[in-house]
Structure 1
Amino acid sequence: MFDLPQIAVEVTEHQMLAVTCGCGHTTRAQAPDRVAGPTNLGEGITAVAVYLSTVQLIPIDRVAAAIEALYGIAVSTGWVSSALERAAAAVEPASEAIKEQIAGSGAAFFDESMTKVCGKRAWFHAAATGTLTAYHADEHGRGLGAITAFGILDAFAGVAVHDAYAAYYSDVINQDGITHALCIAHIQRELRAVAEHDLAAGKDGWAAQLQALVGDMFRWRDTWHAAGHEQVPKFKLDKIIAEWDTLLARALDVHPHQPGRLAGQTHARRLALRLRDRKDDYLRWLTDFTIPATNNTAEQSVRMIKTKTKVSGGFRTLAGLQQFLTLRGYLDTLRKNGRHLITDLRHALQGNPWIPAPA
């Protein structure tokens, strides 16, 4: 049987003596660094508050209620907010190191999505590897300004796996060092939607046939990878490319340019053009098995921020969003590295944040 003992809060009293000299001058002892006032809450309870808010995604008022119920300590929502602020500042050195390590990695995943700030839409960006996670949000929203302010792609020289958002291809980012690999899972979802909802595509069948081709790609890749190969055999790759080109040429005939529409293109035509023009980036995972086929690692990082939005309704300020993202990135990195989250949070609040060793 595993159980908890009766929880009792440890209280430490600090006595700062004051001594008055014969001349009348009084000398008072200095309080320890982390003792800021007559009553203080320590790093342990602060770490729990941060964990409940950032990992378990509990709203601030319920964090305060949970702490009182679990530990018998009455805290205000203002104290919880200040605890999050102190913790974000404490892990900032680790957060910067994480971003530098992602920028220096051989492959990284990138994604962007929306949350809410003051009830309005706000964009945030995520970058991740198998062991690292970082986030960024600022007044530039989804745009190129936010991507460059994030500071990862400017210094990146590996394989960038993403969802084909045009800003990732901007010349402002150093394209000479970046190899783009586009998420095939996004295409599977788009093809399914086009096949089901576009009458012309449904009648012709090109989208459904391209879906089937993608499924064939996965089967060949899995089989040959399991057999110890590094890429799909050339005869099969040539056949896949020929069928890819044929289906997209057919799609563009089925969905011609339409004057009067936005840029003269339906969604199905825009998809077909993107698949044609970015073919090498979409099929890169077949020619190098070290390159992932999907952007799932970044999407998983984004998903929990979306869950936070659903649970709490969003954030009050953009600074509060970035504060949450800083903590979330640090804690997700701890999780990926098998660290004990609350222990490492306590150490960070004591001035010693855990920083992952460069790979």
Structure 2
Amino acid sequence: MAIKSFLASLISVVALFQASQAGLIKRAACPGTKRTTANAACCSWFSVLDDLQANILLSECGEGSHTALRLSFHDAIGFSKSSNVGGGADGSLIAFGDTELAFAANNGLEEIVDDLQGVADAHGKSYGDIIQFAAAVGVANCAGAPRLQFLAGRPNATAPAKDGTVPDPFQPVSTILARMADGGFSPAELVALLASHTIAAADEVDTTIPGTPFDSTADQFDTQIFIETQLRGTNGFPGTGPHQGEVESPLAGEMRLQSDHNLARDPATACTWQSFANNHALMSSSFAAAMKKLAVVGQNTRRLTDCSDVIPVPKGTSVTPHFPAGKTNADIEQACSSATFPQLPTLPGPAKSILPVPPGS
């Protein structure tokens, strides 16, 4: 009994100490606003947040938010361990836009680069910071997304990235994985980063159908991309689509990238891909961890300031994993050798064409 009494007293003392310490941690009030932050140095980012949401991202999970997220990957992956070139997440895609926007892989980023350069210059922020901040805010605009970390203080880029550092959708899986490994990312981390495609749409793969989404719920950060890429197609699928990097999707109005199709079926990535199909929590946490790593490629994190509490808290999603109308487990092209595809419900009613993401939304 004496031991139990001692342990109970010790637990009480620890609890009181923790409570007293918590009371000592005060949030800084940002001048002229009702906002607070754990670090007063982050207060200036609230005005950047307001500017972005009002004028670029429009506070919605639309084209602006999608493209800001795409830009964060294209800027950060411009880094090579083997050849020691590229500054990673340093904003070189803005600072040296004349060079990097000429790379084929960066086609379609011109408008967001111009927009974010204007915001960065207006608020005195580095281009590396504005790219990763806009991506984190854009993701937060999408229901079901995780709240991403944001560290501020990246110095400005001193040189452009090298052409060829951004993987292309028409490349073989082996080439894509080798490029990502050279940038410091494993096959599992690549699949986690591709959760971004659940809120993505293509403008440049096929310019005749701009805004074509990669899954049926492009305004929701859900697991549908990992389900719908695993569906078999029709008309001799997987025959290539009309444009390089595209294969035929069995869902009207949806685009399937060749790289997504192949990664969903390759032995190196198929089981990770499938593991996200009905596990939103796993997909979300894996994406957040991979983005945390991506956002600081090439940076010394000891010199950065954690301003994550400026990022809005995303809303939850009401979408649960499902097959689109008319599709069932019988339509799945099984690829993972160690586990069968999960049993999922099918949406009722007739199949409907998936609507494009409106421009400027």
**Structure 1 or 2: larger strand share?**
1
**Structure 1 or 2: larger helix share?**
1
| TM-score (structure 1 length as normaliser) | 0.22
Q: Which structure is richer in relative contact order (CA contacts within 8 A, separation 6 or more)?
A: 1
| TM-score (structure 2 length as normaliser) | 0.22
Greater Rg, structure 1 or structure 2? 1
